[in-house]
């Protein structure tokens, strides 16, 4: 039995944070009912690249195994139908700006009247209160506002646009799922639901805990390309090999550093990197640039040096290690094309990797609004 079997989720969210949270709940066994606009559905259906005739890769990946109802939320009769559906739900998930669901008649206070045990999770950029509560922004804005983007600067001080959507997933999706699971536990004990205010920016500060701690004791946050794990150490760097490929080198502890420096034959005057870390970094870069990545990995083979090659996504997915762990099991299919599902970020013992499920067609489950199913 998957842990959330029997749990019903009504999901009003779109794009990334909420849909990925819903995906995780669905992978854990919950019935997730996606609420979309009639005729057009949610915007992510039309992203590129495309997957088959009626969806995007993005939509197919994030909405595997869900159901779909197409509802005009500005129509009073549709709102009443949604209330009847939510009366049988355990969780409502939404990521509108604060106040939108209230204006539609589907806010927490209205819904708790029909379902007192309802867990209502609202994901927003800045939370339900505060001067920026209705501020328009995206992931890049959130990481900028919390100082995280400033920490991820290159050696010139220019911030680097991150490829990982840390705010959406790390500040939105994961805290939402954690909060929902905790609230479910409380509801099991007390029968009472909860309103969960999930602010992506609030939750980003956990991702820079070390920097905020440094500031709190009166020191300056690490400057660009400085700090032990942010570019200021020869022991935690990305170095380019002769072939043009890059090596991720992280022998931070002395026991790893001593093996690494011996294998690359680093001169004694550079081994103690504390006095002049950048001099050591430059010398290590020079040495590693003299041989190919393949040659270096052969040299390091069998030794604990914390070094590997920076891979492409395709190379990572073809890694025998991940294949052996079965994290890319199952498939998403539209009948003609297939995709590999997103590996659920929870322990294998809590999921069924044999499940094959597709994304829902727009409004395919509208009979739910009539009390069927």
Q: Tell me the mean pLDDT per 10 residues along the chain, length 373.
A: 95 97 96 96 94 91 96 96 97 97 97 97 98 96 94 83 95 98 97 97 94 87 74 92 98 98 97 93 98 98 98 94 89 87 90 81 94 77
> Which of the following is catalytic: 90, 145, 168, 273?
168
> Which of the following is catalytic: 72, 75, 102, 138?
138
Cα separation, 115 vs 84, whole angstroms: 10
**Contact (CB, 8 A) for 334 and 55:** yes
Cα separation, 172 vs 204, whole angstroms: 9
pLDDT of 164 reads 93
pLDDT of 307 reads 98
Structural domains of the chain, ranges and CATH numbers in brackets? 8-206+327-370 (3.40.50.10540), 246-309 (no CATH)
pLDDT of 321 reads 96
Task: Based on the residue annotation, tell me whether 138 is a catalytic residue of this protein.
Answer: yes
State the residue for tokens 């999921």.
351
pLDDT of 63 reads 96
pLDDT of 222 reads 73
C-alpha torsion sign, points 341, 345, 347, 352: negative
Task: Based on the residue annotation, tell me whether 276 is a catalytic residue of this protein.
Answer: no
pLDDT of 1 reads 80
Integer-rounded Cα radius of gyration of the chain: 25
């Amino acid at each position: 039995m998957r842990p959330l079997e029997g749990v019903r989720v009504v999901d009003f969210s779109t794009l990334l944070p909420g849909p990925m949270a819903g995906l995780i709940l669905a992978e854990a066994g919950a019935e997730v009912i996606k609420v979309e606009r009639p005729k057009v559905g949610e915007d992510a259906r039309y992203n590129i690249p495309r997957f088959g005739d009626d969806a995007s890769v993005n939509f197919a990946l994030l909405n595997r195994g869900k159901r779909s109802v197409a509802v005009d939320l500005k129509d009073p009769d549709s709102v009443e139908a949604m209330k009847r559906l939510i009366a049988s739900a355990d969780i409502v998930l939404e990521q509108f700006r604060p106040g939108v669901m209230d204006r539609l008649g589907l806010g927490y206070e209205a819904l708790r009247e029909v379902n007192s045990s309802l867990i209502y999770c609202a994901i927003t950029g800045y939370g339900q209160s505060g001067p920026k509560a209705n501020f328009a922004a995206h992931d890049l804005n959130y990481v900028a506002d919390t100082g995280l983007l400033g920490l991820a600067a290159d050696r010139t001080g220019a911030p680097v646009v991150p490829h990982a959507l840390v705010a959406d997933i790390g500040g939105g999706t994961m805290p939402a799922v954690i909060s929902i699971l905790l609230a479910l536990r409380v509801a099991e004990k007390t029968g009472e639901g909860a309103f969960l205010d999930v602010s992506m920016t609030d939750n980003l500060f956990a991702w820079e805990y070390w920097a905020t701690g440094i500031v709190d004791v009166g020191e300056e946050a690490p400057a660009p390309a400085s700090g032990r794990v942010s570019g200021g150490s020869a022991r935690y760097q990305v170095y380019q090999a002769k072939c043009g490929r890059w090596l991720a080198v992280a022998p931070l502890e002395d026991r790893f550093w001593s093996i690494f420096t011996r294998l690359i034959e680093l001169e004694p005057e550079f081994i103690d990197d504390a006095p002049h870390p950048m001099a050591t970094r430059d010398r290590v870069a020079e040495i590693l640039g003299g041989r190919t990545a393949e040659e270096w990995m052969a040299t390091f083979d069998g030794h604990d040096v914390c070094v590997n090659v920076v891979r492409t996504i395709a190379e990572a997915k073809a890694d025998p290690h991940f294949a052996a762990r079965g994290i890319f099991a199952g498939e998403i299919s539209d009948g003609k094309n297939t995709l590999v599902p997103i590996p659920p970020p929870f322990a294998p013992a809590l999921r069924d990797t044999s499940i094959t499920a597709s994304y829902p067609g727009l409004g395919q489950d509208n009979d739910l609004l009539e009390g069927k199913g």
